[in-house]
Amino acid sequence: MEMVLQRSHHPVPGQEQQEAAAELSSAELRRGPWTVDEDLTLINYISDHGEGRWNALARAAGLKRTGKSCRLRWLNYLRPDVKRGNFTAEEQLLILDLHSRWGNRWSKIAQHLPGRTDNEIKNYWRTRVQKHAKQLNCDVNSKRFKDAMKYLWMPRLAERIHARAGADDDNRDYSNNDLSCVSGVTMATVANCFDGSPSMVTSSSSDSFTSESQDLKKINLHVHGDDEKMNSEDWMQEVDHEFWSTEIQPNNEQFQDQQLNGWVQGFSEGLSETLWSLEDIWKMQ
């Protein structure tokens, strides 16, 4: 089916488009939640004719929807490779990391999370991350909040990922999972938070936006397959080594803010040995 879906057809010739457009006034257009029938109609049509030319597609398929609506429904929900369910620790870490680089460039971030849509990531950010910033009484774009992410959540997520990776070491298979590979790079990135480099400690968080870092280049090389010489496993081992050869020792001097410092210390005392998730951290509030 996927092969079929990649085709880009022009379902309706120009004249028919105009006629169809005339037939369907805006008053007849449906809005709101999609029905099962509509979903099936869209899926069947795309499997037969391919996607693209969404306005024409909507009319040709007999859907009383705008092309935009069809496109959105397909990309965000009906596509066979859309991944459902909660974000894994790897994905959460990756989102935090990439957002720190690119800001609200959701589609760009989504490109590095296979099966996840920009909409889903955007929702995750708004509902989870921004909510937490609110609870901390600080802006999600503030240095304070970014520091909390950088020095606290991301390392904890990385720890959690690594602990799990260690637990099922025998079952690791990086060759078939882009996300695992990408998250390995993110681990390396997180490790940089603790390497004592002045730039990470003192610079404003926007500094991290200014240039593509080394590990990001690796993401691109790997994901886009430009580096034919390095296979997935070698590459993963390399970035894993980068990360775990760096000792994780959060430097509390990095937290100039007394309130945040106290908050960090508070839950550090409360949770020493458990595996962490963002949810765990939030519950500590």
Partner DNA sequence: AAACCACGCAACCGCACTCTA
Partner DNA sequence: ATAGAGTGCGGTTGCGTGGTT
Does 91 sit near DNA (CB under 7 A)? Answer: no
Q: Going residue by residue from 51 to 70, which x/- string records binding to DNA, judged by CB under 7 A?
A: -xxxxx--------xxxxx-
Q: How far is the CB of 30 from DNA (least distance, A)?
A: 7
Decide whether 93 or 165 has the Cβ nearer to DNA: 93
Count of positions (residues) in the chain: 285
Does 107 sit near DNA (CB under 7 A)? Answer: yes
Does 132 sit near DNA (CB under 7 A)? Answer: no
Q: Count the site residues for DNA by CB under 7 A.
A: 38
Q: Rounded to an integer, what distance in angstroms lies between the CA atom of residue 279 and that of residue 274?
A: 13
Does 124 sit near DNA (CB under 7 A)? Answer: yes
Say if residues 114 and 133 touch (Cβ distance below 8 Å). Answer: no
CA end-to-end span of the chain, whole Å? 47
Q: Which of 31, 36, 258, 270 binds DNA (CB under 7 A)?
A: 31
- Choices 41-49, 73-81, 137-145, 211-219 (CB under 7 A): range interacting with DNA: 73-81
Say if residues 70 and 21 touch (Cβ distance below 8 Å). Answer: no
Q: Rounded to an integer, what distance in angstroms lies between the CA atom of residue 147 and that of residue 160?
A: 19
- Tokens 């990001």 locate to 216
Give the 3-state secondary structure of residue 120: helix
Residue 51 backbone phi and psi in degrees, to 5:
-100, 175
Decide whether 14 or 270 has the Cβ nearer to DNA: 14
Positions touching DNA (CB under 7 A) are: 14, 17, 30-34, 52-56, 65-69, 71-73, 76-77, 86, 104-108, 118-120, 122-124, 126-128, 131
